[in-house]
Copies of this chain bind each other. A is one copy, B any other.
Amino acid sequence: MPEFLELVPPPQALARLMDHIHAIPSPELIDTGKALGRITASAVVAPHPLPAFPRSTVDGYAVRAADTHGASDALPAYLQVVGEILMGVPAAVELRRGQCALIHTGGMLPAGADAVVMVEHTQSVRQGEVEILRSLAEADNVIKVGEDVLEGQEVLPSGVRLRPAEIGGLLALGLTQVVVARRPRIGIISSGDELVSPHVQPALGQVRDINAYTLSALVEQTGGFPVRFGIQPDRADELLAVARQAMEQCDVVVITAGSSASTRDLTAQVIDALGEPGVLVHGVNVRPGKPTILAICAGKVVIGLPGNPVSALVIASLFVTPVLEAMLGLKRTLPPAGIQAVLALNLASQAGREDWIPVRLVATPQGFLAEPVFGKSNLIFTLARADGLIRIPADANGLPAGARVEVVYM
């Protein structure tokens, strides 16, 4: 057969493609409160220190630390209480030597104070006076100005996916808007004479096109914007016309081809006609997903996925997801690795080819057990029954029961 003159190992296949991927232009300024999951497109610098004023971390008395030196249960220091610090307003008092003020957690230290003694370490003796039972150092129980972040400090680099904590940090600085990467538009084309929409009752011999939807969901999950271009028949002219339209409107075009050799050749021809340099990889040494096509056409990424729904989803998570993450400028991803687990059964594989096996995780007192979910590679519910995928490396003949494996999510 003419196809697959060279089966490229997955890491090299990905590297060939990634050489051409750049961060996407035109970042967006959006509300920080709506930025969950979005990715910073530039570094964020603190416009002011945080906290902006010295704050107490306990309930107690703001003091001048020097006034407490040598104080203990046996030999308390006696300080004059000159007032109470109310929340949300600057202290009305200024402490002089021998004075203190009642303060609450989070309250602003009055001028003159440099430490706070916990109320548990004090004793009221008479109106307007308190015994201090501990010797304090400067800044004890105080958050100083700029202790969280300094003015001008970089608080977030670019390429960070915003979680609740980052959103809180930005808002703490009054940054109610944030510059994030535009969501890359991923055009999705399904081709195959046998395909019908999931909304249509298939006749005998027809199957519902689900790749457009599983890929849309994967793209959405990763932070892209899926654009579906419908189902195309296995004819070069029609597929080419739609692919060109998708290239105009999108940053990446993904075509899921039929699974037969003839339709795979058709997809490769169409992709090669989309522009230079064209197909970089045609055939990857991986199962499932051997007939994968990776291409750059006139500056756009074009990926041909196998039509088989399991292969399409696995290969998309191996190739489309990293492309999207690189376009988003994501610098720090939590592992492609997820959970460590122990393999429950012996698994055979063909040396020289990388295999990806769906597994189900079972929690045990010793950690997670990864139980392979077997099934022919076009059974979508095989994946639905799995928690993730494990990899059998190309240089292995399989993996023995008891082997430590890393589970990657789909």
What CA separation (Å) do A104 and B313 show in the bound complex? 21
A380 within 8 A of B: yes
Q: A363 at the A/B interface (Cβ < 8 Å)?
A: yes
Q: Which residue of B lies closest to A85 (CB)?
A: B205
Minimum CB–CB distance from A171 to chain B (whole Å) comes to 4
- In the docked arrangement, what's the CA distance between A156 and B107, Å? 53
Report the bound CA distance from A166 to B387 in whole Å: 11
Which of chain B's residues has its CB closest to A192's CB?
Answer: B87
Give the chain B neighbours of A148 by CB distance below 8 A.
375, 378-382
Instruction: Check if A234 is an interface residue, CB within 8 A of chain B.
Output: yes
Any chain B CB within 8 A of the CB of A240? Answer: no
Q: Which residue of B lies closest to A220 (CB)?
A: B36
Chain B CB within 8 A of A359 CB: no
- Say whether A218 faces chain B, with CB atoms less than 8 Å apart: yes
In the complex, A400 has a CB within 8 A of chain B: no
Contact between A88 and B194 (Cβ–Cβ < 8 Å)? Answer: yes
**Chain B residues with CB below 8 A from A396, complex form:** none
Assess whether A322 is interfacial by the CB under 8 Å rule. no
CB of A127 closer than 8 Å to a CB of B: no
The answer on a CB contact under 8 Å between A171 and B50 is no
Size category, A interface:
35 or more
Is the CB–CB distance between A217 and B384 below 8 Å?
no
In the bound assembly, the distance between CA atoms of A384 and B51 in angstroms comes to 15
By CB atoms of chain B within 10 A, which of A57, A165, A208, A263 has the most?
A165
User: A147-B376, A148-B382 are contacts. A234–B87 as well, Cβ < 8 Å?
Assistant: yes
Query: What residues of B have a CB within 8 angstroms of the CB of A201 in the complex?
Result: 174
A67 adjacent to chain B (CB < 8 Å)? no
Q: How far apart sit A229 and B12, CA to CA, in the bound complex (Å)?
A: 53
Q: Is the CB of A383 within 8 A of B205?
A: no
A106 to B260 alpha-carbon distance, docked (Å): 8
Q: Does A86 contact B (CB under 8 A)?
A: yes
A401 within 8 A of B: no
Q: Evaluate whether A207 and B260 lie within 8 angstroms (CB atoms) in the complex, with A165-B313, A214-B165, A383-B165 already known.
A: no
How close is A4's CB to chain B, nearest CB, in angstroms? Answer: 12
In the complex, which residues 36-84 of chain A have their Cβ closer than 8 Å to any Cβ of chain B?
36, 50-53, 55, 57, 59
What residue in chain B is nearest A167 (Cβ atoms)?
Answer: B217
Residue of B89, B106, B165, B339 near A380 (CB, 8 A) is B165
> How far does the alpha carbon of A207 sit from the alpha carbon of B213 in the complex, in Å?
45
**How far, in Å, is A358 (CB) from chain B's closest CB?**
9
A123 in contact (CB, < 8 A): no
Q: Which residues of B lie under 8 Å from residue A208 when comparing CB positions?
A: 171-172, 174
Report which of B176, B220, B308 forms a contact with A199, defined as CB distance below 8 A.
B176
Q: In chain B, what residue has the closest Cβ to A163?
A: B410
> Which residue of chain B is the closest to A379 with respect to CB atoms?
B148
Residues of B within 8 A of A213 (CB): 32-33, 164, 167-168, 171
Nearest opposing residue in chain B for A165, CB measure: B383
Interface positions of A from 76 to 110, Cβ below 8 Å from B: 86-91, 104-108
Closest 9 CB pairs of A and B: A104-B260, A165-B383, A88-B194, A164-B217, A105-B259, A168-B214, A171-B198, A148-B379, A87-B193
Q: 17 more A-B contacts (CB under 8 A) besides A36-B217, A90-B203, A167-B210?
A: A1-B120, A33-B216, A36-B221, A86-B193, A88-B195, A104-B259, A104-B260, A104-B262, A105-B259, A105-B308, A148-B378, A163-B410, A164-B213, A165-B214, A165-B380, A174-B208, A338-B338
